Structure 1
C-alpha cells in the first residue's frame, strides 16, 4: 500500500510545475479578458452616445442620409449592421422585418402580395422562435450543470473545512 501512495505522491509532485505554469497562464489570460471587456465597454458607451444622437432625431425623411452621418472608422457591430441594413433598404429579401412589405400590400389593396408577405413574416418568426428556444434551452441546461458542479464543489469544500477544524 505504501508503494501506491508513493507513486501517487511522485505523480502529484511531477504535475506541480505544469499546474503552476498553467495557473500563471490562465491568470494572465484573465487579465487580458478584463482589459478586453473594459475596452469593449468603453467602445459601446462611445458608440451609444454617437448613435443615440443620430437616432433621436431620425425620421422617415432623414433615414436615407443616416449612412452619411454614421462614424466611418468605428468597428462597432452596431455601426456595421446599421450600414448593412441601410445598404439593403431597396433589396426586399435582405430587409430585417418581413412584416413591412405585407403592410404595404395591405395599404395598397394588393391582397395577393400581402398574403405572400404575411407567409414570409410568419415563417421567419417561427424559425426565429425555434432558434431562440434552442439557445435558451441549452443555456438553461448548461447553467444547471454548472450550478450542480458548484454545489458539489461547495459541499466538498465544507467537508474539507470541517475535517480541518477537527484536527
Structure 2
C-alpha cells in the first residue's frame, strides 16, 4: 500500500511542470486567438457590406455571374475565403463543394476554441490539486514556506485555467454567431441564385 501511494505521488508530482507549461502555452495561444478575433472584428464592416450587396443583387434578380463578381471584391472573412476556394476548385460549377469545404473549415476553427474551453479548466484543476499534496506535507511538518509556495502555485493555476476557459468560451460564442450568419447568407444566395445559361 505504501509503495502504491509513493508511486501515485511520484506520478502526480512529475506532471506538475508539464501541466504548468501547458497552461502557459495556452495563455500565449489564447492571446494569439484574441488578436485574431480583434482583426476579424475590425473587418466585420467590410464583410457585412459585401453580404448586404449580395442580398440586394439577389433581390433585384441578379444571376450567379453578378453575385460572383460582387464576391470577388471581398478581401476578408468567409466571403473572401469562399472566393479562394472557388479559385482552387475551378469556378462556379464547384460552388456546392466549396460551400461544404467552407463549413468544414469553420467547424475546425470553432472546434479549437471548444477544445480550449474544456481543456484549460482541467489543466487549472490539475495545477491546483497536484501542489496540495506537498502543501499538506509542509503543513504537517510545520514548513510554512513549502506550504505557502505550493498554495500560491495551486490557486494561481486555478485562476489562470478558469480565465482561459472564460476567454475561449466567449471567443467561441462570438465567432460562432458571426460564422453562422455569414454561412447562412452565402448558402442561401448561391444555392438559389439563378444560373446563367451555359453556351
TM above 0.5? no
Which range, TM-score by smaller chain? 0.3 to 0.5
TM-score (norm. length: structure 2): 0.35
Normalised TM-score (structure 1): 0.41
Q: Which has the higher contact order (CA 8 A, sep 6+)?
A: 2
Which one has a larger percent helix, Structure 1 or Structure 2? 2
When Rg is computed on C-alpha atoms for both structures, the one with the higher figure is 1
